[in-house]
């Protein structure tokens, strides 16, 4: 037997896999955070991408009206550190604080609460700079035109549209259907109108709209075109490690700086596997990644390319806060069928409902066993999952389903790891 420890909530659980069955553990590369996050951000701002391009302090003029888009409370990134350095750059150009507006890029989410705003951008910035939450239903959105590839009418926040200098702050990581987060996502969905967002997100039904893929990805294409229409001047994006520490910062051009950040995410978190398992035991990575089923599902989705069609996925996620998203629950309970969900996405996309689409799609080709504290009624009746109270019970059940000779992958940090199957090249004769 081989003992494999998997994060579960704020502790770890051990799965005992027969040595003959275990293929190994799929783990991403852990990078150390920058010794000084502030210094790393300042380095990026002083050395924008592409080489030789203008710094933010050179783009801005003393009279410039500046809009800075930052993430809302649904993302946990070091916004305050990034923002203070950006404000220093703007002040260097002679831009006064009263000419700067911070926009929380809420997309279709609710407005940021005062206590959340302070947590995101810091008490110092709250005192200095005006901040507003984007409202996707605001009556004064500006129409920037239509994306050429997919015909999406792009309506954006008025303050953002009318700014002389537009700056985007964010982080880059894998994203279900946009391929990667960050960059252009700070325009669409962050500061766009509700109909623009729904139209864009309905493109997730395309086969190329998947995690880690930007090639011919319609969601990514549409987002990028929207950001071009918005005439973004400068971005500052970071890539963080599993602890949330900044590994490296990237600043400069909307597309070129972003492309460099994407390369680092791939280097850190994409793992090539040379065979698919019959069974994969995947942990979301413990708290907070497994705080609810909505968050933990990302690990399951990431694991799909490492398990055979018809194989078994064991998802180890405590889920102390239950399912975690009402739209996810409602779509599973009310629609409960992949075709119904696809129709609903085309008709009336709702953030959260998309998770029902992905779960039902995964269930078409795999049996899924959930090890969690979620009540069995919800797990089985609503979310259509098999359940087990202990991970070793789940493995015993999986071996019954897939066969005693089944090969098993373990994946301890599922939310941070994206396995990619690549068949070994045939030996040349």
What total number of domains does the chain contain?
2
397, 319: one domain: yes
Range of the domain at 134: 37-240
pLDDT of residue 133: 97
337, 221: one domain: no
For the segment 374-427, what is each residue's pLDDT rounded down to a tens digit? 999 999 999 999 999 999 999 999 999 999 999 999 999 999 999 999 887 643
pTM of the model: 0.91
89, 45: one domain: yes
Q: From CA 165, how far away is CA 411, in angstroms rounded? A: 44
7, 80: one domain: no
151, 54: one domain: yes
> DSSP secondary-structure letter at 408?
E
Q: Could you say which of 240, 262, 292 is where a domain stops?
A: 240
Q: From CA 375, how far away is CA 319, in angstroms rounded? A: 10
Q: From CA 290, how far away is CA 285, in angstroms rounded? A: 7
Q: Could you tell me if residue 210 is left (phi over 0), alpha (psi between -120 and 50 degrees) or otherwise beta?
A: beta
Q: Could you say which of 200, 224, 240 is where a domain stops?
A: 240
290, 233: one domain: no
Secondary-structure breakdown of the chain: helix, strand, coil percentages, each rounded to the nearest 5: 40, 25, 40
106, 15: one domain: no
Strands 165-171 and 234-240: parallel
pLDDT of residue 89: 97
* Average pLDDT, integer, range 16-35: 96
For the segment 129-174, what is each residue's pLDDT rounded down to a tens digit? 999 999 999 999 999 999 999 999 999 999 999 999 999 999 999 9
3-state secondary structure of 354: helix
CA distances from 44 to 200, 209, 409 (A): 31, 30, 38
- Which residue from 249, 398, 254 is spatially nearest to 313, judged by alpha carbons? 398
212, 297: one domain: no
Instruction: Classify residue 324: in a domain, yes or no.
Output: yes
Cβ neighbours, 10 Å, residue 428:
4
pLDDT of residue 62: 97
CA distances from 75 to 172, 244, 303, 332, 408 (A): 11, 11, 22, 25, 33
pLDDT range class, residue 348, cuts 50, 70, 90:
confident
Q: From CA 56, how far away is CA 333, in angstroms rounded? A: 49
59, 124: one domain: yes
pLDDT of residue 427: 36
For the segment 94-109, what is each residue's pLDDT rounded down to a tens digit? 999 999 999 999 998 8
129, 155: one domain: yes
Instruction: Classify residue 163: in a domain, yes or no.
Output: yes
| Buried-exposed string 85-109: b where 16+ CB fall within 10 A, e elsewhere | bbbebbeebebeeebbbbbbbbbbb
């Amino acid at each position: 037997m081989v003992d494999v420890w998997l994060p579960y909530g704020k502790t770890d659980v051990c799965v005992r896999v027969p040595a003959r069955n275990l293929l190994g553990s799929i783990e991403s590369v852990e990078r150390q955070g920058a010794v000084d996050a502030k210094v790393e951000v300042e380095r990026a701002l002083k050395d924008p991408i592409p080489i030789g391009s203008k710094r933010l302090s050179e783009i801005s003029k003393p009279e410039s009206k500046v809009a800075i888009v930052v993430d809302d409370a649904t993302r946990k990134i070091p916004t305050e550190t990034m923002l203070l350095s950006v404000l220093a750059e703007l002040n260097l150009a002679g831009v006064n604080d009263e000419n700067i507006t911070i926009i929380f890029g809420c997309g279709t989410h609710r407005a940021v609460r005062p206590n959340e705003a302070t947590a995101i951008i810091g008490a110092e910035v709250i005192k200095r700079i005006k901040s507003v939450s984007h409202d996707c239903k605001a009556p004064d959105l500006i129409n920037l035109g239509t994306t050429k590839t997919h015909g999406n009418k792009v309506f954006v926040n008025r303050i953002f549209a009318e700014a002389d200098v537009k700056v985007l702050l964010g982080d880059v990581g894998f994203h279900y259907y946009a391929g990667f987060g960050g960059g252009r996502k700070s325009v669409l969905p962050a500061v766009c109108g509700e109909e623009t967002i729904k139209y864009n997100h309905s493109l997730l039904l395309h086969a190329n709209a998947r995690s880690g893929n930007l090639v011919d990805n319609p969601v990514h294409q549409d987002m990028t075109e929207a950001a071009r229409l918005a005439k973004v001047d400068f971005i500052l994006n970071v890539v963080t490690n599993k602890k949330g520490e900044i590994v490296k910062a990237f600043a400069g051009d909307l597309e070129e700086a972003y492309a460099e950040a994407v390369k680092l995410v791939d280097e850190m978190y994409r793992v090539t596997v040379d065979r698919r398992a019959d069974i994969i035991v995947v942990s979301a990575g413990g708290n907070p990644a497994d705080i609810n089923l909505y968050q933990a599902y990302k690990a399951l989705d990431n694991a799909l390319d490492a398990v055979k069609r018809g194989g078994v996925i064991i998802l180890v996620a405590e889920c102390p806060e239950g399912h975690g998203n009402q739209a996810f629950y409602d779509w599973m309970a009310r629609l409960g069928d992949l075709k119904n969900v696809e129709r609903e996405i085309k008709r009336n996309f709702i953030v959260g409902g998309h998770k029902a689409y992905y779960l039902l799609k995964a269930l078409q080709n795999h049996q899924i066993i959930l090890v969690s504290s979620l009540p069995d009624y919800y797990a089985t009746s609503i979310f259509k999952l098999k359940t087990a109270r202990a991970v070793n019970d789940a493995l015993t059940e999986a071996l019954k389903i897939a066969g005693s000779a089944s090969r098993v992958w373990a994946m301890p940090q599922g939310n941070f790891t994206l396995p990619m199957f690549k068949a070994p090249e045939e030996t040349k004769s």
